[in-house]
């Protein structure tokens, strides 16, 4: 049994005086897909930002590839092998699709020709991006923008990919299209953390699942074995089931 590629240990943190996370323990193995679900405001995005070095946390709270890395700035985490598809996509406006991608290539863990992901492979995966490679990203549809955001993260050649609500605001057909690439990403050995509000989507796409409520993990287990009732309790609180 190898060590998890990424784990958190009693991770606590938040924004200044406001504490949003209370002792979160989580781990993910190479090639694994885990889902992190929870209601709006539960602390999912805060968790991802804390892992990625965008919010202050103690060094030993985050372990990546066997080293304590908590609080390491995001741009250095990218070199280690972490990448994120942020909530709301956060593309570089005023830049073309390809230039958005090239920013990631410029700063990736590995050069494009040595990594798993190349522009050509992503244009095969998302053909519309190939057609629109010279288009300014602000002129793309929401789904196309999400594809750019995912491509940008993958071109960092990550070993762990953090995805924050990539289905948000998209049509069901587009969501299916985007989730169809998840198995291909993990098949390459990349571990994926899927933050989702859509519970059934999260269950079906992941190996394991964590449920967060008010900054605490209230449920975790294999995605196939957790019942809807257990999730409902963990998601909305009430009897405070703790797994």
Partner 1 sequence: MQWLDAIIQGVLLGGMYAQYALGMALMFGVMRIVNIAHGDVMILLSLIAVTLAGVVPVGNLGLILLVVPIAVALGWVLQKFILNKVVGADPLPSLIATFGLSIALQNLMLEIWSADTRSLPSSGIASESFNIGPIYVGLLPVIVLICAFCITAGLDGVLRFTRFGRGLRAAAADTEAAAMAGVNPKKIYATATAIAVGILGLAAVFAALRATVSPADGPAQLIYAFEAVIIGGMGSIWGAFVGAMVLGVAQAVGLRIDPGLGILFGHLVFLAVLAGRPQGLMARK
Ligand X SMILES: Nc1ncnc2c1ncn2[C@@H]1O[C@H](COP(=O)(O)OP(=O)(O)O)[C@@H](O)[C@H]1O
Round to whole Å and give the CA distance between 92 and 83. 16
Phi, psi of 36 (to 5 degrees): -120, 110
Instruction: State yes or no: residue 167 binds Mg ion (CB under 5 A).
Output: no
Q: Which is nearer to Mg ion, 8 or 45 (CB)?
A: 45
Compute the least distance from the CB of residue 52 to partner 1, in Å. 7
List the x/- string, 134-153, binding to partner 1 by CB under 8 A.
Answer: ------------------xx
Q: Which is nearer to partner 1, 193 or 231 (CB)?
A: 193
Q: Which is nearer to partner 1, 57 or 219 (CB)?
A: 57
Compute the least distance from the CB of residue 151 to partner 1, in Å. 11
Round to whole Å and give the CA distance between 173 and 150. 17
Q: Which of residues 18-57 bind ligand X (CB under 6 A)?
A: 18, 20, 38, 40-46
Compute the least distance from the CB of residue 41 to Mg ion, in Å. 8
Compute the least distance from the CB of residue 48 to ligand X, in Å. 8
- Cβ 114 vs Cβ 93: under 8 Å: no
Instruction: State yes or no: residue 52 binds partner 1 (CB under 8 A).
Output: yes
Distance of CA 202 to the CA centre of its chain: 12
Instruction: State yes or no: residue 103 binds partner 1 (CB under 8 A).
Output: yes
Q: Which is nearer to ligand X, 112 or 165 (CB)?
A: 165
Q: How many CA atoms lie within 13 A of 141 on its CB side?
A: 8
Compute the least distance from the CB of residue 38 to Mg ion, in Å. 9
Round to whole Å and give the CA distance between 31 and 183. 9
List the x/- string, 190-209, binding to ligand X by CB under 6 A.
Answer: --------------------
- Cβ 183 vs Cβ 213: under 8 Å: no
Instruction: State yes or no: residue 151 binds Mg ion (CB under 5 A).
Output: no
| Burial category of 181 from C-beta neighbours within 10 Å (exposed 0-12, middle 13-18, buried 19 and up) | middle
Among 45, 167, 186, 206, binds Mg ion (CB under 5 A): 45
SS3 162: strand
Round to whole Å and give the CA distance between 24 and 44. 11
The backbone region for 184, taken as left when phi is positive above 0, alpha when psi lies in -120 to 50, beta otherwise, is alpha
Residue 62, H or E segment: strand 62-64
Residues that bind partner 1 (CB under 8 A): 52, 54, 73-75, 78-79, 83-84, 86, 90-95, 99-100, 102-104, 106-108, 152-153, 156
Residues that bind ligand X (CB under 6 A): 15, 18, 20, 38, 40-46
Residues that bind Mg ion (CB under 5 A): 45, 87
């Amino acid at each position: 049994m190898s060590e998890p590629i990424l784990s958190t240990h009693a991770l606590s943190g938040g924004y200044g005086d406001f504490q949003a996370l209370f002792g979160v323990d989580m781990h993910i193995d190479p090639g694994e897909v885990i889902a992190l679900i929870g209601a709006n405001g539960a602390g999912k995005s805060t968790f991802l930002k804390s892992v990625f070095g965008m919010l202050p946390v103690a060094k030993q709270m985050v372990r990546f590839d066997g080293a304590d890395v908590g609080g390491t700035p995001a741009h250095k985490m990218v070199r280690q092998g972490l990448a994120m598809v942020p909530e709301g996509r956060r593309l570089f406006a005023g830049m073309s699709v390809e230039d958005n991608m090239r920013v990631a290539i410029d700063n990736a863990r590995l050069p494009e020709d040595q990594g798993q992901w190349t522009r050509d492979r992503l244009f095969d995966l998302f053909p519309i991006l190939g057609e629109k490679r010279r288009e300014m990203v602000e002129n793309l549809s929401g789904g196309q923008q999400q594809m750019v955001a995912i491509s940008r993260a993958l071109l960092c050649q990550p070993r762990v990919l953090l995805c924050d609500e990539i289905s948000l605001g998209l049509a069901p057909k587009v969501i299916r299209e985007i989730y169809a690439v998840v198995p291909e990403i993990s098949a390459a050995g990349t571990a994926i953390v899927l933050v989702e509000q859509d519970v059934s989507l999260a269950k079906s796409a992941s190996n394991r699942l964590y449920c967060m409520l008010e900054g605490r993990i209230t449920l975790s287990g294999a995605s196939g074995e957790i019942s809807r009732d257990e999730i409902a309790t963990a998601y909305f609180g009430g009897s405070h089931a703790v797994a």
